[in-house]
Amino acid sequence: MTIGDKEVLVCPSCGNRTPHKLVFQHKHVGTWYTTDGTASDGEDPASIYSVFECATCHDISLYSHLEPVGFEDATLVYPKGDSLHKSVPAQVASNYSEAKRIQTISPNAFAMLMRRSLEALCDDRRAPPGIRAKRLQALAEKGEIPPFLRKSPRFCGVWGTLERTTLANG
């Protein structure tokens, strides 16, 4: 592949299957070692690192593969981490994944789905029924929401939005 070539990939940021443009590529030949710890005698394969830009959201993705093997066997290196730990309740994870998929193309829908994730979290943790902000407050008082998170600026922003929404809607 050469710079500017396109490959149809599923974007790990927006979740769309769309053309990705190769914007950078690096080839690295390092020393490979045998199982006994000695350097190999033969020709060592090159590691190829390829950076692609998504045509939809314009985020980048980094893939790695070995030179004799084609790009079809490449491994996604970056970004990773949008998937949640298996301990996260299925409904919370489902809402979160759906929200992350549309975050850059529909911020309002993203916010709605994140609120739905918080509601699913409240249901899973058996917060008393009622207004979302009060349910989250009840979880915080029970220690279900860690103190460091309750004090973080990002969480305070979400909390403030929930409280303003609660006040505006009665």
State the pLDDT at residue 160: 53
pLDDT-based confidence at 157, cuts 50/70/90? Answer: low
pTM: 0.51
Mean pLDDT over the full length of the chain: 80
Q: Please, what is the angle between helix 90-102 and helix 107-124, to 10°?
A: 170
- Check if the beta carbon of residue 20 is closer than 8 Å to that of residue 5: no
Buried b (16+ CB within 10 A) or exposed e, 78-107: eeeeeeeeeebeeebbbbbebbbbbbeeee
- Check if the beta carbon of residue 94 is closer than 8 Å to that of residue 75: no
Mean pLDDT value across residues 36-53 = 85
The answer on pLDDT for 99 being more than 90 is: no
What are the distances in angstroms from CA 80 to CA 38, 52, 75, 92, 120?
A: 33, 15, 11, 19, 24
The answer on pLDDT for 72 being more than 60 is: yes
